Structure 1
Amino acid sequence: MRNDFFENNDKLNALEAQYEAQKIAFSPIVFQVARTMRDLNLLEILSKNKNGLTYEELAKESTLSKYAVQVLCETALSANIVSLKDEKVFLTKIGFFINSDKMTITNMNYNHHVNYLGLFYLDEAIKNEKAEGLKVFGDWETIYPALSTLPNDAKKSWFEFDHMYSDSGFKEAIKILKELKPEKILDIGGNTGKFAMLFAQSNPEIEITIMDLPQQIKLAKQNIYEKDIKSISTYEANILLEDTTIPKGFDIIWMSQFLDCFKEEQIVKILEKIYASMDNNSEICIMEPFWDRQNNETAAFCVINTSPYFTAMANGYSKMFKYTDFEKLLKKANLKVVEIIDNIGLCQTIIRCEKISR
């Protein structure tokens, strides 16, 4: 499956195009107005008053001033978040999704708490290929060792965003992996152990090892201890270091939203390291949200627009992939794709790969 999203997207007349350009120019203001209306419960109040409210009534119910309500609502009106009829404010369908849709809420929290301040430095990050925006949180080269020490709102929003997109595919991914009848699985980039724990709880007879940075392994160990799971072990390592080797003896090497954290040349080196650890019966299973393999444009839009986070905040050099670009990296690492499974959870694709004999 390959979808040609965003093609033929230059069919507006000049006046329409100028209006769309202004929407982009003012989008930071619209974003913050929408978030503020959500967080101050204005959208929730409107959702419970189907017959609409005047500015005075909305001010009274929200305990805000009429000035505050009117400023927010007029920008919201321009963005179709609310409508205005007979001097009353009504919540639109767009406003409903901003207020109530889990994906929209998670995306907005993530962009506000994790990305908003740091994206001010996107131009520097683009030029330097360094996460220049991360300075808003501290002196870090990449965000991954910093995750456990981020401010609470940022940490919570980061993990909710990460887990929403990956977790939605976990149940089906576990079923697919189990059908391959492995005895041992290596979960590279296993993060806090969420996938490994879900897998182990339903398949305690299969050994699973989490390989990740020491900071992430520390969190994973705590989670595993609290769940009292015996079939999970851990392996601390920085996969980018030259002397880091991949442990051998695994039937499946599993990576979920891991390789999109690296440069293309790094991805090839990681895959080559994995190749060296594999025997002829081993296989690699990679789960990633490829934007050109989504089943709708909304999903493709969300996936694509995660890439600037990697540039400004995460590491300065990685991105979400188009599958046709990613496939070239697999070939460079002498890996053969034996199956592609789309529509896993919200947006994921699983690629099964085997070694090509050298």
Structure 2
Amino acid sequence: MHNFFKDNDTKTALEAQYEAQKIAFAPIIFQVAKSMRDLGILETLYDNDKLGLTLNEIAKNTNISTYGVKTLLETSLSADIVKVKNKRYHITKTGYFLLKDKMTRINMDYNHDVNYQGLYYLEDAIKNEKPSGLKVFGNWETIYPALSSLPEKAQNSWFSFDHYYSDTAFEEAIQILLKNEPEKILDIGGNTGKFSIKLAQADPNTHITILDLPEQIALAQENISHAQLDDQVDFIGLNILDHTKEIPSGYDIIWMSQFLDCFKEEDIVALLKRVKASMDKDAYVYIMEPLWDKQRFETSAYCIINTSPYFTAMANGYSKMFNSVDMIDYINKAGLHVIEEIDNIGICQSILICK
């Protein structure tokens, strides 16, 4: 387990007070940074970085009032998004990443479009173990059946976030899955079918079954049909949290990608016990999760850890992102054991292969 965040509480009192103020004003900084990006101010600074731009030049280039530009620039100056020399503004390295870094853009859109309003109710969610913030989108028990009904921007940002952190691992994960030439794979929590499509295209001899909520199955069926893979992929619509339902048997591999982080501990253990009961002696379980203590960089660990409040306030009220110690503990409690761990797949994923 990596010792991330080991330098906590090493600041002077004055430095710590400043950090506390950054947290206190964080929502304002966030909105200013997003406005700087979306109103084109960061782009025009980037395009003119050699000489920089004056306040009036920025206002003219972006067609925004000098008042508006100055308000955004001064907050951005305090947040190290811009710097000023001889009354001419330049973009900083932080500003560059806000503008050009794909991960930063996806994270910002996700937090703005999906989480921002709902996180106002985080305290209620913590107390009640219910996604109290989800009410900003409608009356659902969890976000998962609501995904196909979310406003377009929220839906696009949710799927962009979800796919970004998993898709970069797909090619390598598929090679790992196909190493032992499985004939039948059960994709539990197959979501839109994106992974199953790539898996089916990689090996036409592998048959895949996607098991998910009926609402998600409808999306997956549409995508599978569009990819002309109906003969290679089939579907089971099932509420996986109904622990009275058996997991179908007869599969060489049971695959779960960024799926178990959707549930609380007791449901994870109960689900894995049902998976175990469906397995014959030659079957394997492959679990892919972004385990925060297995990251190469502290930045990745930071992003993963800070996804957990989304689960609390918006998704279901009770799940979170894992470290490897907790995940392996759940696996062992279900009567399974990890025979191989493969880390650093894609941006942030680990695969635990279990028997």
Normalised by the size of structure 2, how large is the TM-score? 0.99
CA drift at 1:242: 3.0
Q: Which residue of 2 aligns with 1:157?
A: 157
Cα displacement string for residues 270-294 of structure 1 (whole angstroms, at most 9, x for unaligned residues) = 0000000000000100000010000
Q: Distance in 2 between matches of 1:273 and 1:180?
A: 24
Q: Which residue in 2 is equivalent to 1:210?
A: 210
1:326 Cα deviation from its structure 2 partner: 1.2
Q: Which amino acid aligns with 2:21?
A: Q
Residue identity matched to 1:21? A
Q: Quote the residue 1:240 is aligned against.
A: 241
In the TM superposition, what is the alpha-carbon distance from 1:6 to its structure 2 partner? 1.0
- Aligned partner of 2:5 in structure 1 is 6
Q: Residues 176-227 of structure 1: CA distance to partner in whole angstroms, max 9, x if unpaired? A: 0010221100000000000000000111110010000000000000001111
Counterpart residue number, 1:130? 130
1:172 aligned onto 2:196? no
State the aligned residue count: 353
Aligned to 1:75: 75
> What residue in structure 2 maps to residue 93 of structure 1?
93
Residue ranges of structure 1 left out of the alignment (5+ in a row) = none
Which residue of the partner structure matches residue 276 of structure 1? Answer: 277
Identity of aligned residues (%): 59
Matches of 2:337 and 2:192, distance apart in 1: 30
CA contact (8 A) 1:239 1:245 kept: no
Aligned to 2:32: 33
What is residue 220 of structure 1 aligned with on the other side? Answer: 220
Distance across 2 between alignment mates of 1:239 and 1:337 = 22
Aligned 8 A contact 1:251 1:283 in 2: yes
State the distance in 2 between where 1:17 and 1:227 align. 54
Letter in 1 for 2:298: E
Code of the aligned partner of 2:183? E
Structure 1 residue 341, shift from structure 2 partner: 0.1
Give me the whole-angstrom Cα distance separating, in 2, the residues matched to 1:180 and 1:236: 28
**C-alpha distance in 1 between matches for 2:219 and 2:10:** 50
Partner of 2:337: helix, strand, or coil? strand
For residue 181 of structure 1, what is the aligned residue in structure 2? 181
Instruction: Map 1:36-55 to 2 at 5 A.
Output: 36-50=35-49, 51-55=51-55
- 1:252 and 1:282 in contact (8 A); partners too: yes
Q: TM-score, normalised by structure 1?
A: 0.98
- Secondary structure of 1:169's aligned partner: helix
With 165-174 and 3-12 compared, the bigger mean Cα shift is at 3-12
Contact 1:291/1:321 (CA < 8 Å) preserved in 2?
yes
Q: Deviations over 1:272-330 (max 9, x none)?
A: 00000000000100000010000110000000000000000000000000111111111
For 1:328 and 1:337, locate their aligned partners in 2 and report how far apart those are by CA, in whole Å.
10
Query: How far apart are the structure 2 equivalents of 1:40 and 1:300?
Result: 30
CA offset at residue 247 of structure 1?
A: 0.6
1:26-80 Cα deviation digits (max 9, x unpaired): 0000000000110111101110001110110000000000000000000000000
| Residue in 2 that maps onto 1:18 | 17
Asked if residue 267 in structure 1 is aligned to residue 268 in structure 2, the reply is: yes
Task: Give 1:8 shift.
Answer: 3.5
